[in-house]
Amino acid sequence: MGGAPAGFAVRLRWARERNEPFDFVDHCRKLGLGVVETRLPSTDLQAIKNFRQRVEEYNMRAIADVPLPRDESSVAAFDSAVKAAKEAGIFSLHSAMTQRRYEEFDTFEAFKKNFERCQKTIALAEPVLRKHRMRLGIENHKGWRSVEQAAWIKRVGSEWVGVHFDFGNNISLCEDPAETLRALQPYTFACHLKDMAVEPYEDGFLLSEVPLGEGILDIKEMVKTLQKKDPEMPFDLEMITRDPLKIPVFTRKYWATFDDSYSPLPGRDLARVLEIVHKNKPKSPIPRLTGLSPEAQLKLEDENIRKSLDYARQYLEL
């Protein structure tokens, strides 16, 4: 079990605004976690050596985010970053290549152009990953439906390019979480572990991370399925404490990026996710930060993380 930085955003902001030192690796260690998702301090050889020594002394594994090459001119910089990651003992790389599709794009053409850009980026990155024998997990980050991402990864056909699986993101694209897992599990290297709650609102439904065991996901079965693929797979907790996300499935803009031939979203999938929303009322109020003082926000985030870690240790054996 590990920690993903997005799950600690309130604490990170708290430290930054007060100019207080905060070391995410040390924080994860204090929580008793065995994996940390982070950025390398630099490509300086001594800094990399010190980072590796510290992670190994803590008996932890590290997953790193590095900038991907956007064009041929940035491949050399990516090569240097991957080389540094290899020397730092990094388990795998992580990249979230998209924003929320239904918010970012107003037309199908804009979505398609961006998807093609992402595919070009990975085509540039793959030879470097293969050269250094370093795996890259591409997160399902509300940018593609799972069948789109799985088909793409299959086309790439590389053991060094796979998925950093997020347990809940694709609900926003009208997917049953079990179907998302079924599509992406064969390609998954590592995970963002979370639970989700949903509730209706006028333009669609709200989607929110909640402490493990308090949401709609079959966490135990999902973890078991992934561990069958790889018993040593890292599960980075990403319990994001924030206002719920609005998924506006009843608006025209939401549907602008879907095309029946290139990128379909079947009506049965919309019906299924709406069934999930209406049959699964939140067990407790969905977390919200709006209206809370900074101190109360930090307290809520810490409590959500504590509950999630307790659940993972008791019921998931992580």
- Share the mean pLDDT of the chain: 97
Average pLDDT over residues 139-156: 98
Average pLDDT over residues 277-303: 96
Average pLDDT over residues 264-270: 97
Percent of the chain whose predicted confidence (pLDDT) is above 90: 98
Q: Residue 43: pLDDT above 90?
A: no
Predicted confidence (pLDDT) per residue in 8-28, tens digit: 999 999 999 999 999 999 999
Q: Residue 186: pLDDT above 90?
A: yes
pTM for the structure as a whole:
0.97
Q: Residue 96: pLDDT above 90?
A: yes
Average pLDDT over residues 94-100: 97
CATH for 26: 3.20.20.150
Average pLDDT over residues 76-104: 97
Average pLDDT over residues 184-196: 98
Output the pLDDT for position 292: 98
Output the pLDDT for position 42: 87
Predicted confidence (pLDDT) per residue in 120-142, tens digit: 999 999 999 999 999 999 999 99
Structural domain tally of the chain?
A: 1
Output the pLDDT for position 277: 98
Average pLDDT over residues 208-217: 98
Q: Residue 97: pLDDT above 90?
A: yes
Output the pLDDT for position 239: 98
CA-nearest of 94, 72, 79, 91 to 132 is 79
Average pLDDT over residues 91-118: 97
Q: Residue 275: pLDDT above 90?
A: yes
Give me the domain span that covers residue 103.
Answer: 2-316
